[in-house]
Amino acid sequence: KAGVTQTPRYLIKTRGQQVTLSCSPISGHRSVSWYQQTPGQGLQFLFEYFSETQRNKGNFPGRFSGRQFSNSRSEMNVSTLELGDSALYLCASSSSGEYGYTFGSGTRLTVV
């Protein structure tokens, strides 16, 4: 069974640009969540999508957005990038959160 796939693995962008990250969950998993991981703030919840609907949203500015497609694949978008957006972005999928997430390997975003 394929795991959670995140693309790309690494990304370098310039301040002010926008970026789109992709996540393909485990087949059959309808819930996809996104986290930002930084050395200073740790793992912070961005949002969760379930059956194409945003079910939860963390405390991030509106520059951070996401969506989920009918095949459960998800994308997150960050517009007007800032240096502080440099982080590891982790995607996680689950069939039922009671049993925990399965995480992808993350996308390392560097904003210069």
Partner 1 sequence: AQTVTQSQPEMSVQEAETVTLSCTYDTSESDYYLFWYKQPPSRQMILVIRQEAYKQQNATENRFSVNFQKAAKSFSLKISDSQLGDAAMYFCAYRSSNTGNQFYFGTGTSLTVIP
Find out whether 66 and 55 touch, Cβ atoms under 8 Å. Answer: no
Q: Are 70 and 58 in contact (CB under 8 A)?
A: no
Q: Select 14 or 42, whichever has its Cβ closest to partner 1.
A: 42
Binding to partner 1, residues 51-70 (CB under 8 A): 55-56, 58
Of 13-21, 45-53, 61-69, 73-81, which segment contacts partner 1 by CB under 8 A?
45-53
Coil, strand, or helix at residue 33?
Answer: strand
Contacts of 57-63 spanning 24+ positions with Cβ under 8 A: 60/36
Token pair, residue 78, equals 């960050």
Task: Return the number of the residue (86 or 105) whose C-beta is nearest partner 1.
Answer: 105
Binding stretches for partner 1 (CB under 8 A): 31, 33, 35, 42-43, 45, 48, 50, 55-56, 58, 88, 90, 92, 94, 97-106, 108
